[in-house]
Structure 1
Amino acid sequence: MNFFERQARARRSTTRLVLLFALAVAGIVVAVDLGVMLVFGSDPALLAASTVLALGVIGVGSLYRVASLGGGGESVAQQMGGVPVPEDTTDLHLRRLRNVVEEMSIASGVPVPKIYVMEHEPGINAFAAGYSTSDAVIAVTRGALDRLNRDELQGVVAHEYSHILNGDMRLNIRLIGVLFGILMLGLIGRKILQHGGRVRGRGAMPVLVGALIALLVGYVGLFFGRMIKAAVSRSREVLADASAVQFTRQTSGLAGALKKIAGLHDGSRLGERAEAEEVSHMLFGDGTGLSGLFATHPPVLQRIQALEPSFKAESLERLRAQWLAAPPSGLEEDVQLGLAGSTRTALPQASAQLSVTPPMVASQVADPREDDYRRADAIVASMPAELRALAGRRDAAGALLLGLLLDADPDVADRQRSEIVARLGVQAAAEARRLRDEHLRSLHPALRMPLAALAFPAMRLRPRPELATFLDTVHAIVHADGRVSLFEYCLGRLLEVQLREALDPGRYARFGRRKPGGVRREFATLLAVVAQAGHPGDPDGARRAYLAGMQRVLPRDHLPYAPPADGVLALDEVWGALDALDPLAKQVAVEAITDAVSHDGRVSVAEAELLRTICGVLHCPLPPLLER
């Protein structure tokens, strides 16, 4: 399965979740009505009232819980007791975690997520949460930091990135809200019984009987809730293990993490937190100890043997005895195994021509491999030290991003400077210009998008009013003149998309349903702009590139090549429609855009970065190494 097939499967899983929820609600309502009939008789009016009350409690509970998670991944991480990892941390454990996450984000073509550590959890566990890549959070336990070596930590993080890229997070966070509603009746019944001694008078008995019914029905809700989580979670955990191995191209890291979960006393169990049950379906390992029908994860030995078929239960007993005598230390193992660094894949020359095909590019969307991870390591190592430091600073990341968007044309750059001064002040404009002149103008094309990805976490720390002003500034400098390059325009658009989604994550969580035939005009506009930008002064070449893309996506339509009069600015009208395409239709869209960029079978490094940027705007992240 490629990314688009996995997205389609995630959408079907959402539909299945709705059906399971409806069945659970029906079961709870029947249980409530039976309880009322046994205690109070079969009065139709009373049964109707109990049915309406049960439905109301479930609905209100679900809506309340979903609203409480409107902040996306950060809301979940904070409720689990997570502590943010600073961008400039010098703690060796935290620095190693941040390096792994940043390199993996660059390798997979997504913004760097916020990183949290559950400091008071000695077990080995982790989760990814959020509605989209723009508000994603990676959280790991202190036990994972202390006990896992770098390869093992990389395997765990790669497993969580599978959930980020496959759309699992969106389903997971909605599942929390849905299941809370199912459990509401039981929670209400428990609270009433806990404080029932305060109820006096003739009305006390009916209230307490009703609370007892609600408590018993709550166990019905708990049963259905656990069954739903198990049904949704187990198969996705197997897929995430396989994806992590495909990403890192080695089984020892992920298998080693699972062995330590199975062999250490704390395992993957979370402490006595009410939230552990609520998020059990999101975790890397079993956090609650449930088994059988209610297990959200396959047995850990079975997961290990899927990676290492020759591994036996006897080997696990030997490891338990070894670690009981001397618990493992991740940092010490790094030194012993020589894992302090990694093998790098060199960056291509800026003038290189890459050989790609549309199916090749589409197959790489959200599907990073080991060579992408090595390329990401080379990208980070190739960045100028000053830029790398500025990207992690809350007060400097904005000027760095604005510098990336400044045009090479002096007249356009002057207009852009005026827009920055009007909104952010002279100092911000001067710093953006300095960075552009001293570093960014000569920056390798393959470093621009990764640099923006590294700056993203620092930007998300700024207050909402400041972010709104910054987004307005980005929009203004991108539209300062129609001669802004297509890459600068698309990079600005990508920043806007990611930051707006981070501000209001729940609003943008959706799967598209439109088909290519319903967005003909938008396809024609995008492909015409891309073809024209790739063939300046060569109308015939641009027309051939346009027709190659249109033949891929709309082979039966005959829309003539007609570059829009307002150039790249015409793309403002196409993004919403194209982003709303059905997942499988997006695959065809990516292939069509690739055809327009590379109709002769070769692309420059700059064109490859343009392709990655456009795909990023459409939520189809591409890794940095297109030339497989």
Structure 2
Amino acid sequence: MNFFERQDQARRQSKRLILMFVLAVAAIVVAVDFVFLLAFGALGEDSTPEGLAAGVVVATLLTLGIIGVASLYRISSLRSGGEAVARQLGGTPVPEDTQDFHYRRLRNVVEEIAIASGVPVPQIFVLEDEAGINAFAAGYAPSDAAVAVTRGALDKLNRDELQGVIAHEFSHVLNGDMRLNIRLMGMLFGILALAIIGRKVLVHGRGSSKDALPVMLAALGLLVVGYAGLFFGRLIKAGVSRQREFLADSSAVQFTRQTAGLAGALKKIGGLEGGSKLASRDSEEVAHMLFGDGVGYSSLFATHPPLIERIQALEPGFKPQAMTELAARWQMRPPSGLDEDQALGLDSRSASPLPSDRTELRVTPPSVVAQVGAPQANDYVRAGALVRAIPDVLQRAARERDEAVPLLFGLLMAPPGKVRERQQFELAARHDERLARQSLDYADRLADLPRILYLPLAAMAMPVLRRRPRAELEKFMDGCFALSHADGKVDLFEYCLGRLLRIHVRDALDPAGTWVAGNRRLADLTTPAVTLMAVLAQAGHEDPAAAMRAYLAGLALVFPRLNSPYRPPADALRALDEVWPVLDVLEPMGKELLVEGLVAAVSHDGRLNVAEAELLRVVCASLHCPLPPMLEGA
């Protein structure tokens, strides 16, 4: 199952969840109406059929209103995305410039996995009061994601085990599970609200008169119905979550190239006292998004497969009695992640060479599609090499509040000349002279930086950028637009990078309203798809005749029966501005076919250089189809 199939599955799963929720609410309404008739029809005085009928209508509307308002309230309270969930559980943000070794190791792992996945670096939190081994990813989309780990995970897991846990969580980020998780939180809270109201009335109700008896009976009924609804809600949550955990485990293994790390983390959960349990009273609400069982559910409500089954899926020869032996050993000497790192040599990494700008790859459309949202065996190692290749001064700038914006503007600067002068003028007019000079200084520093490092550097700057005030972020997006469109002569890669930065910031400003998998058919969007293909064919081939052949090859793959001559738009940037929002709402399987056609158009001459590969990455990311930092050659 590839990225597009998983996105399609997540979309169908969301529809099933909504259907199950609607059925559950309907059953609850019927039960509340029955309680009302029982309480007021049997015990109430002067009850008339007309009065009871009107009462049933009122009870129905009140029940629907309470569930709906409570659900919307809970979802709106999480509108700021993953950060809201992490802070609710007491998460402590990990500073970008932290000198704490545990924090630094965690940040390095998260940054490398984010870069290898082709998504922005998420916000990182540590649950300092939690001694169990656990973690979760929360948010609406990769642009507003937050990853949190417990203090127990930091102290007890070595680097490979921590990497396996974080890779597992990134699988949820890439598979579209996070939005579904937040919806589950809101829906279950709405059902629980009935039980809370019933309990409040019973606890605080006064009076022993005969008139109060129907009210108290109705409150008791609400309490019973509410908890019964919560029972079935937990069943829904468990059914939705279990299979996704197996998928996330297998994705993490594919990502990290080894099973020992993830299996080791699961063994420590099973063998250490406390396991993955969380002390927070809110742990039940987020149980379905945790790495391990944080509550201690029975098998009926379990949101995770049995621990032994998860380990055996990674290590088929693992025996349950081995867990007992590990527990006895760790009881004598508790594990230390840092000590294990030093013993295994995981605290140092060898450098890997980067491809030069002249490096060329032979790729096929299916091989590139297979990498979308699914980092391959070497991508994590490559991401680490990319991070280490970025000069320290640029890494520090990406992590500092006052330097991140001019650094990102520097990435969008054209080479020295009239276009750059125009960009300087636009920046000074929209911001100030000081920021314009800073951006120019970074543009000069970036002149010798390989283009393959641009996107990783931008990804590293996203956490600190997101925390700037809304007004500053809106000015930043305006500045990106101005730099990308200066004189209409900006390099296509720089234009697409500017747009990508604007997308990430826009999604961070409005997480709940961010991108979701669309439902438009590719056959209904031929005009924008053909326009994008023509622009990429032209960008990948200097010879117009070769560009036309490349365009026709891509067209034949995507629209084999369409007769559309090769006519690249005169104003490519304006044409692309019109294309993006339309194509971004394609259904997942339509995007898969479109990406295949774009790859065929860019690489029709039989080779793909670094610049073309980076352009393809930015285009795919703009369509919310993240590609790893280095493409695999055929």
Pairwise same-fold verdict (TM > 0.5) = yes
Which residue does 1:10 correspond to in 2? Answer: 10
Asked if the contact 1:258–1:304 (Cα under 8 Å) also holds between the matched residues in 2, the reply is yes
Q: Where does residue 153 of structure 1 map in the other structure?
A: 162
52, 65, 70: which is aligned to 2:74? 65
Residues 120 and 142, structure 2, Cα contact 8 Å, conserved in 1 = yes
* Contact 1:529–1:568 (8 Å) recurs in 2: no
Task: Give deviations 1:74-112, integer Å, cap 9, x for gaps.
Answer: 111111111111000011111000000000011111000
Check conservation: 2:539, 2:602, Cα contact below 8 A.
Answer: no
Structure 1 residue identity aligned to 2:537: A
Shift of 1:343: 4.9
Q: Which residue of 2 aligns with 1:165?
A: 174
Equivalent pair of 1:163/1:240 in contact (CA under 8 Å)? yes
Equivalent of 1:544 in 543, 549, 574: 549
In the TM superposition, what are the counterparts of 1:349-498 in structure 2 within 5 Å? 349-437=356-444, 439-498=445-504
Please state how far the C-alpha of 1:203 moved relative to its aligned partner. Answer: 5.5
1:522 maps to 528
Root-mean-square deviation over aligned CA pairs: 1.4
Q: Note if contact 1:128-1:160 (Cα within 8 Å) is conserved in structure 2.
A: yes
**What does residue 228 of structure 1 align with?**
236
Equivalent-residue separation in structure 2 for 1:283 and 1:241 (angstroms): 13
* AA at the equivalent of 1:300: L
SS at match of 2:374: coil
- Whether the aligned pair in 2 keeps the contact of 1:57 and 1:184 (CA below 8 Å) is yes
Report what 1:80 is aligned to: 89
Structure 2 unaligned spans of 5+: 43-51
Deviation at 1:164, TM superposition (A): 0.3
Query: 1-side partners of 2:352 and 2:234: how far apart?
Result: 45
Matched, 1:215 2:220: no
Long gaps (5+) in structure 1: none
* Mapped partners of 1:70, 1:184: distance in 2: 19
1: distance between equivalents of 2:530 and 2:208? 74
**Mapped pair 1:604 → 2:609:** yes
Q: How does the TM-score come out when normalised to structure 2?
A: 0.96
The alpha-carbon deviation at position 362 of structure 1 amounts to: 0.6
| AA partner of residue 370 (structure 1) | A
Paired letter, 2:517: F
CA deviations 1:200-224 (Å, max 9, x no partner) are 8775444332221111111111111
| Farther off after superposition, 561-570 or 362-371 | 561-570
The corresponding residue for 2:38 is 38
Superposed CA offset, 1:224-259 (max 9, x none): 110110010000001101111111111110011001
2:283 partner SS? helix
Instruction: Report the TM-score, using the length of structure 1 for normalisation.
Output: 0.97
Paired residue type of 1:596:
A
Measured in 2, the distance between the counterparts of 1:272 and 1:69 equals: 18
Point out the more displaced range, 248-257 or 183-192: 183-192
User: Displacement of 1:370 after TM fit?
Assistant: 2.6
Report which stretch shifted further, 560-569 or 154-163: 560-569
The equivalent residue for 2:131 is: 122
Deviation (angstroms), 1:34: 2.4
Measure how far apart 1:534 and its partner are.
Answer: 2.3
Is residue 116–residue 140 contact of structure 1 (8 Å, CA) maintained in 2? yes
Give the distance between the partners of 1:339 and 1:217, measured in 2 at CA: 53
Q: Is the 8 A contact 1:482 1:568 kept in 2?
A: yes
Partner Cα separation in structure 1 for residue 164 and residue 463 of structure 2: 22
Amino acid at match of 1:294: F
- The offset of 1:41, in angstroms, is 2.2
1:566 aligns to 2:571 (yes or no)? yes
Task: Find the counterpart in structure 2 of residue 263 from structure 1.
Answer: 271
Name the CA distance, whole Å, in 2 between partners of 1:560 and 1:201: 85
- The amino acid across from 2:268 in the alignment is K
Q: Which amino acid aligns with 1:270?
A: L
Name the CA distance, whole Å, in 2 between partners of 1:203 and 1:238: 55
**Equivalent residue, structure 1, for 2:302:** 295
**Count of residue correspondences:** 624
**1:61 Cα offset (Å):** 1.1
For residue 238 of structure 1, what is the amino acid of its counterpart?
F
Structure 1 Cα separation of the partners of residues 523 and 312 of structure 2: 47
Q: Distance in 2 between matches of 1:118 and 1:569?
A: 46
Alignment map for 1:178-217 (pairs within 5 Å): 178-197=187-206, 204-217=212-225
Deviation at 1:305, TM superposition (A): 1.3
Cα separation, 2, equivalents of 1:509 and 1:579: 8
Q: 2:291: which partner in 1?
A: 284
Residues 564-603 of structure 1 correspond to what in structure 2 (within 5 A)? Answer: 564-603=569-608
**Which residue is equivalent to 2:46?**
none
Residue type at the aligned position of 1:493: R
Instruction: Name the structure 2 match of 1:626.
Output: 631
* 3-state SS, counterpart of residue 384 of structure 2: helix
Question: Within 2, Cα distance between the matches of 1:11 and 1:193?
Answer: 41
Question: In structure 1, how many angstroms separate the alpha carbons of the residues matched to 2:280 and 2:531?
Answer: 56
Alpha-carbon separation, structure 2, partners of 1:486 and 1:203: 76
Give yes or no for contact 2:89–2:280 (8 Å, CA) kept in 1. no
Structure 1 residue 613, shift from structure 2 partner? 0.5
Aligned with 1:370: secondary structure? coil
Match of 1:511 in 2: 517
Q: Percent of aligned pairs with the same residue?
A: 59
